[in-house]
């Protein structure tokens, strides 16, 4: 017998669907239910690697972790990774099948229905409950004829739908009513309840609106979820970076860490642990004058290294980074950023562009050659050579992280490497990673700052370099598990739990 399902859809993108699914996975898991997340199609540049080396959206990996289970490719069978020029890399069951324009993919989507159905069926056979997540809005009428992520999945799974709206944006009641008006009658009947998300005010002032919504639609409000600030949970897409743009400049007693906001920036959650450290301000910037005075500049991952390297040069940021390097000021390249810092990028198969060879910034003695096969792996590594990442000293304990890249990065002549990869997806290897060139360090490892020892040593180095006292030493930031609990507690308190249990079709009411 297949497990029941419940689905979270939204009135728009970025209304909090992913976080609500994360909270529900945590809630049901804490109630003793074996629960799994599912999103048929995800469009995101933040991705994750499963234990068997397959690529899925970061949000589904987070949701699985909140549920206390290992992520698997069935939780996100289709991942779209935008490449620019209206194209996306299409990843199916964890492996890329090619690059398509929006029109090409729209025509291709019907072929993926079987993949979606089979992945969902496997999850429903293995778990007690599957929490489904939609994308964008179910009322995007221009896309409904080939929908494979919203009502198509709800019907496939016979799932009641929770419709989420973001009150922080304003117009939430119009969004709810307007969405219902644009749905077909059978789809409208599938909407089981509303969830008002990101509420900051006095609930008494909201009640007249809630009463109107119930009377107008005949549907209940499952709850009003408060805005939960400073959550240490990875964002699904780059919309959240707009808030970071306006982040204040640090004082003289704080560290200023600047991340270059590349046009095709990916896996920007690499720096998220740094954002939660006391006395640290992380800013995403796009101008060269923001680069020179920072305590650390990070060149992050990129979905298209060649195009973003050209953008760096056109913006003048490449020159600013080169000046920093000559002055001995720290620069860190992560994945695509590491490739940009190297000497040469070869693309003989046209994986990223029509240019078969471009020159990097030449700050690291590395050569990148793009291959047709993507490398996706969970890795364990050891520190091979001291750098500012280790405060200039050796570290004995292993470092964990993951790789997602098309290019093979190789040394050009003698050089020191910051790390040696010791295992990929559980298979023992001995592969030097990245390079060190003075104050410039490059690595292909994502998730580096999730390692407390690397984060603490890096910040210690930067503080000493800036002349800050040791009283500003790094503190222990909240664990992911603690943050999942904090999110779940906020949702638990503000949802009608008895209604939630009825909609999940597991038991008549919550035990507490």
Encode pLDDT of 348-383 as tens digits. 887 777 788 999 999 999 999 988 888 899 999 999
Enter the DSSP assignment of 55: E
Cβ neighbors of 512 (< 8 A, separation 6 or more) are none
- Nearest alpha-carbon partner for 478 in 300, 279, 278: 278
For residue 57, being part of any structural domain is answered with no
284, pLDDT greater than 80: yes
Q: What is the mean pLDDT of residues 334-357?
A: 88
Catalytic site residue from 152, 338, 405, 446: 446
For residue 84, being part of any structural domain is answered with no
pLDDT of residue 245: 47
Q: Are residues 333 and 398 in the same domain?
A: yes
For residue 85, being part of any structural domain is answered with no
- In whole angstroms, give the CA distance from residue 55 to residue 77: 9
277, pLDDT greater than 70: yes
pLDDT of residue 475: 57
Counting every residue written for the chain, the total comes to 512
187, pLDDT greater than 70: yes
For residue 418, being part of any structural domain is answered with yes
pLDDT of residue 351: 77
Enter the DSSP assignment of 385: S
Angle at 432 between CA 319 and CA 277, to 5 degrees: 60
pLDDT of residue 115: 96
pLDDT of residue 472: 47
Q: What is the mean pLDDT of residues 308-326?
A: 95
Tokens of 355: 């240019």
Encode pLDDT of 378-413 as tens digits. 999 999 999 999 998 888 889 999 999 887 888 877
Q: What is the mean pLDDT of residues 132-145?
A: 90
pLDDT of residue 145: 85
CA 52 → CA 162, 374, 473, distances in Å?
Answer: 32, 14, 37
Q: Are residues 428 and 491 in the same domain?
A: no
- Nearest alpha-carbon partner for 303 in 5, 89, 70, 6: 89
Q: What is the mean pLDDT of residues 302-315?
A: 93
Mean pLDDT of the chain: 90
Q: Are residues 305 and 443 in the same domain?
A: yes
Q: What is the mean pLDDT of residues 296-319?
A: 94
Q: Are residues 178 and 295 in the same domain?
A: no
- In whole angstroms, give the CA distance from residue 23 to residue 147: 26
Encode pLDDT of 445-476 as tens digits. 999 999 999 999 999 999 999 998 765 444 56
Encode pLDDT of 84-105 as tens digits. 778 899 999 999 998 899 899 9
For residue 53, being part of any structural domain is answered with no
- In whole angstroms, give the CA distance from residue 296 to residue 157: 48
Q: Are residues 274 and 422 in the same domain?
A: yes
25 is catalytic: no
Q: Are residues 406 and 316 in the same domain?
A: yes
pLDDT of residue 412: 79
Catalytic site residue from 335, 405, 471, 494: 335
Q: What is the mean pLDDT of residues 115-120?
A: 96
Q: Are residues 340 and 487 in the same domain?
A: no
For residue 447, being part of any structural domain is answered with yes
- In whole angstroms, give the CA distance from residue 149 to residue 158: 14
- Residue range(s) defining the domain that contains residue 467: 238-472
- In whole angstroms, give the CA distance from residue 488 to residue 66: 9
Encode pLDDT of 55-77 as tens digits. 999 999 999 999 999 999 999 99
pLDDT of residue 470: 66
Q: Are residues 448 and 496 in the same domain?
A: no
Q: Are residues 213 and 288 in the same domain?
A: no
CATH number at residue 435: 3.40.50.880
Count of structural domains, the chain: 2
Q: Are residues 346 and 227 in the same domain?
A: no
Task: Specify the higher pLDDT residue, 160 or 253.
Answer: 160
CATH number at residue 187: 3.40.50.300
Cβ neighbors of 62 (< 8 A, separation 6 or more) are 18, 22, 48, 233, 234
For residue 92, being part of any structural domain is answered with no
Encode pLDDT of 12-32 as tens digits. 988 999 999 999 999 999 999
Q: Are residues 207 and 331 in the same domain?
A: no
253 is catalytic: no
For residue 66, being part of any structural domain is answered with no
pLDDT of residue 203: 87
**Res. 246 pLDDT band, cuts 50 70 90:** very low
Task: Specify the higher pLDDT residue, 276 or 509.
Answer: 276
Q: Are residues 255 and 373 in the same domain?
A: yes
């Amino acid at each position: 017998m297949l497990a029941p399902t419940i689905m979270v859809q939204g009135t728009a993108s970025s209304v909090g669907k992913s976080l609500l699914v994360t909270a529900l996975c945590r809630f049901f898991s804490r109630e003793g239910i074996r629960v799994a997340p599912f999103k048929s199609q995800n469009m995101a540049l933040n991705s994750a690697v499963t234990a068997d080396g397959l690529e899925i959206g970061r949000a589904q990996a987070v949701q699985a972790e909140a549920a206390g289970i290992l992520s698997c490719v069935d939780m996100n069978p289709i991942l779209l990774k935008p490449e620019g020029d209206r194209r996306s890399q299409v990843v199916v069951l964890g492996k890329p099948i090619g690059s398509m324009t929006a029109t090409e993919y729209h025509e291709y989507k019907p072929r993926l229905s079987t993949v979606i159905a089979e992945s969902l069926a496997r999850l429903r056979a293995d778990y007690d409950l599957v929490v489904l997540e939609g994308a964008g809005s179910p009322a995007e009428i221009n896309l409904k004829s080939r929908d494979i992520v919203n009502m198509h999945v709800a019907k496939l799974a016979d799932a009641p739908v929770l419709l989420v709206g973001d009150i922080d944006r304003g117009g939430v009641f119009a969004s709810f009513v307007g969405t219902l008006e644009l749905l077909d009658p059978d789809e409208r009947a599938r909407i089981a309840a509303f969830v008002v998300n990101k509420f900051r005010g006095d609930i008494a002032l909201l009640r007249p609106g809630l009463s109107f919504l119930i009377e107008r639609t005949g549907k209940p409000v499952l709850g009003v979820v408060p805005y939960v600030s400073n959550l240490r949970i990875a964002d699904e897409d780059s919309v959240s970076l707009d808030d970071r743009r306006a982040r204040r400049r640090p004082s003289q007693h704080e560290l200023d860490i600047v991340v270059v906001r590349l046009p095709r920036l990916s896996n920007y959650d690499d720096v998220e642990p740094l954002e939660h450290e006391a006395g640290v301000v992380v800013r995403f910037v796009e101008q060269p004058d923001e680069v020179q005075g920072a305590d650390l500049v990070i060149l992050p991952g990129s979905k298209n290294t060649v195009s973003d390297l050209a953008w760096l040069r056109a913006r003048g940021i490449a020159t600013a980074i080169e000046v920093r390097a000559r002055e001995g000021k720290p620069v860190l390249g992560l994945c695509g950023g590491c490739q940009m810092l190297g000497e040469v990028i070869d693309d003989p198969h046209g994986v990223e562009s029509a240019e078969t060879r471009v020159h990097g910034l030449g700050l690291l003695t590395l050569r990148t050659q793009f291959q047709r096969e993507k490398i996706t792996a969970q890795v364990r590594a050891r520190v091979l050579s001291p750098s500012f990442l280790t405060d200039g000293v050796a570290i004995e304990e292993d470092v964990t992280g993951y790789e997602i890249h098309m290019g093979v990065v190789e040394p050009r002549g003698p050089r020191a490497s910051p790390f040696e990869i010791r295992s990929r997806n559980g298979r023992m290897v001995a592969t030097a990673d990245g390079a060190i060139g003075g104050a410039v360090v490059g690595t292909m490892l994502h998730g580096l700052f999730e390692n407390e020892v690397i984060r603490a040593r890096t910040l210690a180095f930067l503080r000493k370099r800036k002349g800050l006292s040791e009283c500003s030493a790094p503190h222990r930031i909240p664990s992911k598990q603690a943050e999942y609990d904090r999110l779940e507690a906020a949702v638990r308190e503000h949802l009608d739990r008895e209604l939630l249990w009825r909609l999940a079709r597991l038991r008549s009411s919550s035990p507490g």
